[in-house]
Structure 1
Amino acid sequence: MSDTAANVLDGAIHPAANTQLFGHSGAQEFLARSYRTGKSHHAILIEGPEGIGKATLAFRFANYVLSNPEPGLAPVTIPDPDPSTPISRQILSGASHNLLHLTRPVDDKTGKVKSAITVDEVRRAGHFFSQTSGTGNRRIVIIDPADDLNRNAANAILKILEEPPRGAMFLVLSHAPGKLLPTIRSRCQTLKLSPLGDSELRQSLTALGQSIDGGQTAESVQRLAKGSVSRALKLKNYGGLDIIAAFDEIVAGEGPSARKAMHRLADVLSGKDSEVIFTFFLEHLSEYLVEQARGAALQGQLAIADKRAKLVSEIVEKITVSTAYNLDKKQTLLSILEAAKAA
């Protein structure tokens, strides 16, 4: 689990160590029922917005399966994992011979998390399945998330899904399943999760020691989190509320004041160790432009709607080019902010 520690947000805990899951009772019932009947699909696509508990559910189900190798004797419901059991300790330490967690690896040279899950990571799955299970249990691979697979890695996973080894189970997580290869989606059974309700979000945050009850700030966090724990943590612990307020100032401002606000925001987003909040801002900007495009379309302003919709993909392309060629991050952000304001 230490290899993926860099993927865990401040205030959160690794999904493998999370013994509580709020919400998604229907999904848990479905997984337990399908496993108990011996009819579990070899690949389950668990999809839904980021930060609503998909990875926690996957580790929770994996623990349940590995703790109950005889499906017919498994509990009717998935219980909270017991950290003291040998299986839980192996999963927590990353030493389980029956569970492999594929996620973006840490670059040994920079110490930072890589931008994608590479084919080298997928080769670990091939090696994993080539080893003999010491217990005869299922062999489970959690892909977290499959959205991060680069093209070669996605094709390599597809080959394994097409001819899965005996006893193999894939738990494929996705925030944006529409971006996955259609052939990967077609080989998985889909399990859709919805954003958390207000009470479930509060319970999840309280369990993490990140209560948001009471006050105007708490109301803003809950409203803007949109049922996502990770989004709430970014709003609360990474300055997300300030980032959104700064962007709103830019949109509403005119002339030199708006330009100064752009520079201030670009300075923050291009600063050292700003990857989390930078990604958060890009997600917020995309949502803003989509909403603006939808509003224009409803008013019959189709040309404006089309322009705003296309800007979302243009921004993604600008960021990709900027990263690939190591261009000045602040200047890239300024051009994006100017384009968003003009739209």
Structure 2
Amino acid sequence: MDDTAQLPEPDRIEGAPHPRMTPQLFGQNTAENAFLAAYGAGRLHHGWLITGPAGVGKATLAWSIARFLLAHPPQQGAGLFGAEAPPDTLAIDPDHPVAHRVAALSDPGLFLLRRPYDEKAKRLKQQITVDEVRRVKSFFSLSAADAGRRVVIVDCADEMTTSAANALLKLLEEPPANTTLLLISHQPSRLLPTIRSRCRELRLSPLSPRDMSRALQQAGATGEGDTTPEALAELAGGSVGAALRLTAMDGVRRYGEMVALYSDLPQLDRQRALKLAEAGAARGAEARLDMLIALNDLFLTRMARFGAIGAPPTVEAAPGEAALIARLAPDPRRARMWADLAQSLGARIAHGRAVNLDPASLILDMIFSIRNTAAG
């Protein structure tokens, strides 16, 4: 396929290796074994829908499957092992020619379908267009001569336009021989039901603290200061992608500052509040603003969730969080208040950003809304 490795990649987390460069997948043995069982039994489906929360390894699994399939030609494939046992792992030798070609996006049997780069606007397009899907059909035609495996990775299928989704559906309905399509989806309910029905699902789960720690070490990331793997996994929701973003932007410490700010509610330290607002309002701090808004929403979500079940979290995402949640969300009625606030704040923030409201004002509005609800 064409070399697009030098262009911005929509499927890469800044500061982390691309999933195709990630050698090992952690914490997803169930999904990996399900694929290997189908392969070993000669029931390799042509379409696989890889689902689960963002950042738990869906793309890493897709690239692992792609390398595995391209390294095992059809004539050596499922059902033809003879006396040999079928493979029990997706891993292939990192020095295998397929591994090098896949890393360079140069394997002739591989096509990566993702949001394209707009040369005119000098930025990535917001959606996967129908023209990109049509390129897959051309890829099938050009790669048919060698009769080898062909693998298509769609990352991610949620980003397809309606026309693109319909065009991909036609490929799923009549796939060429020895073709496997791997569709990555964070929200499979948003896909066409006919696309879902023509794929076998591999669902991935949030990572445990141990697997999260191992995945972060593999990515070259370390926790912040004395942050425990348990706290990071809790705050990131078991998502390595979220954990990488948190560690890159000092997010765990920021969440701790937020919990400390709210610890005396309904009393509020205005100087602390102003300091937090200024952190998200500095010039060039758009990503930090996004993070603070997301952390605030996470705080409200955790209040609502643990208040609804009537018990504080057993693992704190920040010191003092459990006691704070137990005090501010002691019962389902109060939990409902925090859930309603999260919804109304989300709408107000979206509107404020749409009209370019001052970022510091946005953050202060969040803080004082939480203070007022605590006093209510």
The reply to whether TM is greater than 0.5 is: yes
Which structure 2 residues correspond to residues 76-155 of structure 1 after superposition, within 5 A? 76-109=87-120, 111-155=122-166
Moved more, 179-188 or 11-20: 179-188
Decide which of 34, 39, 43 is 1:39's aligned counterpart: 43
Q: What is the match of residue 173 of structure 1?
A: 184
User: What is the RMSD computed on CA atoms of the aligned residues?
Assistant: 3.5
The answer to whether the 8 Å contact 1:106/1:112 transfers is yes
Shift of 1:30: 1.5
Q: Distance in 2 between matches of 1:11 and 1:240?
A: 15
Q: What is the match of residue 337 of structure 1?
A: 366
Q: What is the match of residue 21 of structure 2?
A: 17
**Cα pair distance change 1:30/1:264, threshold 3 Å:** same
Structure-2-length-normalised TM-score: 0.74
Structure-1-length-normalised TM-score: 0.80
Q: Distance in 2 between matches of 1:77 and 1:168?
A: 21
Decide which of 201, 224, 231 is 2:235's aligned counterpart: 224
Q: Distance in 1 between matches of 2:228 and 2:9?
A: 29
**Cα pair distance change 1:191/1:280, threshold 3 Å:** farther
The answer to whether the 8 Å contact 1:289/1:312 transfers is no
The answer to whether structure 1 residue 57 and structure 2 residue 90 are counterparts is no
**Cα pair distance change 1:273/1:259, threshold 3 Å:** closer
Q: What is the match of residue 304 of structure 1?
A: 337
- Determine which structure has more spread, i.e. the larger CA radius of gyration: 2
The answer to whether structure 1 residue 263 and structure 2 residue 274 are counterparts is no
Moved more, 236-245 or 292-301: 292-301
The answer to whether the 8 Å contact 1:138/1:167 transfers is yes
Decide which of 211, 214, 224 is 1:203's aligned counterpart: 214
The answer to whether the 8 Å contact 1:4/1:105 transfers is no
**Cα pair distance change 1:211/1:251, threshold 3 Å:** closer
Q: Distance in 1 between matches of 2:164 and 2:348?
A: 25
Q: Distance in 2 between matches of 1:115 and 1:335?
A: 31
Shift of 1:47: 1.1
Matched residue count: 336
Q: Distance in 2 between matches of 1:284 and 1:157?
A: 36
Q: Distance in 2 between matches of 1:114 and 1:251?
A: 40
* Secondary structure at 1:141 match in 2: strand
* Secondary structure at 1:46 match in 2: strand
Shift of 1:170: 1.5
Q: Distance in 2 between matches of 1:250 and 1:54?
A: 36
Q: What code does the residue aligned with 1:209 have?
A: G
Shift of 1:61: 0.8
Q: Distance in 2 between matches of 1:255 and 1:47?
A: 43
Question: Could you give the per-residue CA deviations for residues 296-332 of structure 1, whole angstroms, max 9, x where no partner exists?
Answer: 656453973673464377368648x82xxx8457389
Q: What code does the residue aligned with 2:88 have?
A: T
* Secondary structure at 2:281 match in 1: helix
Q: Distance in 2 between matches of 1:332 and 1:110?
A: 32
Moved more, 303-312 or 37-46: 303-312
Q: What is the match of residue 27 of structure 1?
A: 31
Decide which of 16, 23, 48 is 2:52's aligned counterpart: 48
Q: Distance in 2 between matches of 1:168 and 1:129?
A: 9
Q: What is the match of residue 185 of structure 1?
A: 196
Question: Could you give the per-residue CA deviations for residues 112-151 of structure 1, whole angstroms, max 9, x where no partner exists?
Answer: 4443333333233232223233431232211112233344
Which consecutive unaligned segments of at least 5 residues does structure 2 have? 310-330
